[in-house]
Amino acid sequence: MNLRNMIMENPLLKDIQSEKEIIWINPDKTDFQAACKCAELTMKDVEDAEARLLRFAPFIMKCFPETNDRNGIIESVLTPIPKMQKLINEKYESGLTGRLLLKQDSHLAIAGSVKARGGIYEVLKHTEELALEHGLLTMEDNYEKLASEEARAFFKQYTIQVGSTGNLGMSIGIMSAAIGYDVVVHMSADAKQWKKDLLRSHGVTVVEYESDYSEAVKNGRRLSDGNPMSYFVDDENSRNLFLGYAVAAKRLVGQLEELQVKVDKEHPMFVYIPCGVGGAPGGISFGLKQVFQDAVHCFFVEPTQAPCMVVGMATGLNSEVSVQDIGLTGLTHADGLAVGRPSGFVGSIMKPHLSGEFTIRDAKLYDYMRDLLESEGIFLEPSACAAFQGPVKLMRSTETQAYLKKNNLTDCVESAVHIAWATGGSLVPLEVREEYKKIHLR
Ligand SMILES: *Cc1c(COP(=O)(O)O)cnc(C)c1O
């Protein structure tokens, strides 16, 4: 069936096309055991990634002393936000029961966004491969030795390249520069000036494009492929990025225990994550499913102008379709979410796992940003605030009500926990924050 017919026959796609906020419930979600049968990645892969990050911890601590208090593990806090919950229940009549928590990847060390998980992990994995192959390192060594002058001189021969709308470039750029690589970040037109400036201050080469993210990626990949000493971080297809994100899940277990939050059949967990190309929300959700299985319900949130993942998943075309194909611009204020085409593999991995998707208009990103600042005194970048569309809408929309009923959750939502996954913000300069506070869109 061609796309035009699909849109004609699918009211949801029509609404997406006319820039309406939608809620999509994934018809292909199955129970966890069934979903595992056809999985290309497993818990073993996540554990392998976790062990690698542990091996690198002494090195990270050495290069980035701000990670000392966590012994070189890059992890964020999980914060109860009862005042925000009260605010949304009053202001938007959300009727959200249970407990609302904020996962503050916005405040992750080094990169100030969720990209500090996947991006940094991928650079480290590549670094370990190079170092092992060239006899710089054995797996039993203390990886701190990679911070030596000899090691830096070795890595200087190599180049890392990546295409980015901003945050991925920052995580890859800062970490690669710290290791000693030549780094080139190919930035799309929508990338913020302060992100380019910050990267250049770390010695990163920033190439700017007039076009969107896909162009920046395409050109970056081409240039990298032409250089045998260059490695390209492929945000659209990378299993490494995905697994770096997935490690978040196991670390959440202890944090939930500390807050005395139970997660099981009677105490469901709902997670809401802003989605761009899909790697971050996909990886985190995949990890969460491995750990919490049927007790966790994962929702992505995308801007109404760039809902590439929901278009890919709802049509089944995945990366074969772009938001431009259905007449949307792909342009949004949501940094990091301005992606027109989803990852080539996240849609298929998430097909049996994902509960659904919300989309959000740009105007609301700023509203939720001010709401959180007012109620809890926490600043997030506007794109990260997309996460709140979930808690605001869950209890009061027909689609999600039907989902709760179908999954026998209606009676236990009283004891649910909701996690808004805050994906970025701590590096946003003060003057840019002041500007954001004044933005009122329609
Ligand atoms: C990158 C990013 C996301 C989404 O990650 P994807 O892997 O592109 O889906 C969400 N929020 C912020 C702030 C980001 O930078």
Q: What CATH number is given to the structural domain containing 339? A: 3.40.50.1100
Those residues with Cβ within 8 angstroms of residue 145's Cβ, 6 or more apart along the chain or in another chain: 136, 137, 151
Q: Are residue 303 and residue 342 in the same domain, yes or no?
A: yes
What's the confidence (pLDDT) of residue 1? 63
Residues 138 and 59 in one domain: no
User: Can you tell me the distance from the alpha carbon of 112 to that of 424, in angstroms, rounded to the nearest whole number?
Assistant: 6
Would residue 254 be called left, alpha or beta, if left means φ above 0 and alpha means ψ between -120 and 50 degrees? alpha
SS3 assignment, position 197: helix
Whether residue 423 has its Cβ less than 6 Å from ligand 1: yes
Q: 384 and 332, same structural domain? A: yes
The whole-number pLDDT of residue 385 equals 98
Q: Are both 279 and 417 inside the same structural domain? A: yes
Taking the CA atoms of residue 400, residue 403, residue 409 and residue 414 in that order, the dihedral angle to the nearest 10 degrees is: 0
Spatial distance between the Cα atoms of 19 and 361, rounded to a whole number of angstroms: 8
341 lines ligand 1 (CB under 6 A): no
List C-alpha distances in Å: 164 to 40, 86, 105, 311.
26, 36, 18, 21
Residue 355 shares a structural domain with residue 368: yes
296 and 418 part of one domain: yes
Q: Whose C-alpha lies nearest to ligand 1, atom 15?
A: 336
- Ligand 1 within 6 A of 112 CB? no
The response to whether residue 278 sits with its C-beta less than 6 Å from ligand 1 reads yes
d(Cα 236, Cα 340) in Å, to the nearest integer?
11
Contact between residue 67 and residue 110 where contact means Cβ atoms under 8 Å apart:
yes
Amino acid at 399: E
Same-domain pairing of 335 and 355:
yes
CB 94 within 8 A of CB 412: no
Last residue of a domain, one of 238, 268, 283: 238
Q: What angle do CA 97, 98, 100 make, to 5 degrees?
A: 100
Q: Which backbone phi and psi does 146 adopt, to 5 degrees?
A: -75, -10
- Nearest CA to 283 out of 32, 104, 166, 114 is that of 114
Cross-sheet strand order for the sheet of 417-422:
23-25, 356-360, 296-303, 269-274, 417-422, 99-104, 78-80
| Tokens 């959200």 sit on residue | 96
Cα(271) to centroid(ligand 1), Å: 15
**Mutate-to-test residue for ligand 1 from 308, 337, 339, 346, highest number of ligand atoms within 8 A of CB:** 337
> Cα(405) to centroid of ligand 1, in Å?
30
Spacing, Cα 116 to ligand 1 middle (Å): 11
Classify burial at 303, counting beta carbons within 10 Å of its beta carbon; exposed 0-12, middle 13-18, buried 19 or more. buried
Q: Which residues contact 93 (CB under 8 A, 6 or more apart)?
A: 396
- Domain count along the chain: 2
Is residue 273 within 8 A of residue 300, CB to CB? The reply is yes
Domain residue limits at 20: 3-111+242-438
Q: CA end-to-end span of the chain, whole Å?
A: 36
Q: How far apart are CA 279 and CA 122, in angstroms?
A: 12
Residue 380 in contact with ligand 1 by CB distance below 6 A: no
Q: Are residues 394 and 279 in the same domain?
A: yes
Q: Final residue of a domain: which of 223, 238, 253?
A: 238
**Secondary structure E strands in 211-268:** 230-233
| 376, 107 contact by CB (below 8 A) | no
CA separation for the pair 301, 241 (Å, rounded): 19
State the residue for tokens 């202001």: 91
The pLDDT of residue 9 is 84
Q: Which helix (H) or strand (E) holds 245?
A: helix 239-246
Residues 252 and 197 in one domain: no
Tens digit of pLDDT per residue, the chain (442 long)?
688 888 888 899 999 999 999 999 999 999 999 998 878 899 999 999 999 999 999 999 999 999 999 999 999 999 999 999 999 999 999 999 999 999 999 999 999 999 999 999 999 999 999 999 999 999 999 999 999 999 999 999 999 999 988 899 999 999 999 999 999 999 988 788 999 999 999 999 999 998 777 888 899 999 999 999 999 999 888 999 999 999 999 999 999 999 999 999 999 999 999 999 999 999 999 999 999 999 999 999 999 999 999 999 999 999 999 999 999 999 999 988 999 999 989 999 999 999 999 999 999 999 999 999 999 999 999 999 999 999 999 999 999 999 999 999 999 999 999 999 999 999 999 999 999 999 999 8
Reading the block at residue 31, the tokens are 């129970």
Same domain, 288 and 424: yes
Choosing from 238, 262, 296, the residue where a domain stops is 238
Does ligand 1 have an atom closer than 6 angstroms to the CB of 274? yes
**Which residues lie across from 424 on neighbouring strands?**
113
CA distance 402 to 381: 32
CB 266 within 8 A of CB 194: no
Please tell me whether residues 127 and 192 are part of one structural domain: yes
Q: How far apart are CA 175 and CA 35, in angstroms?
A: 35
How far away, in angstroms, is 165 Cα from ligand 1 center?
9
Do 93 and 191 share a structural domain?
A: no
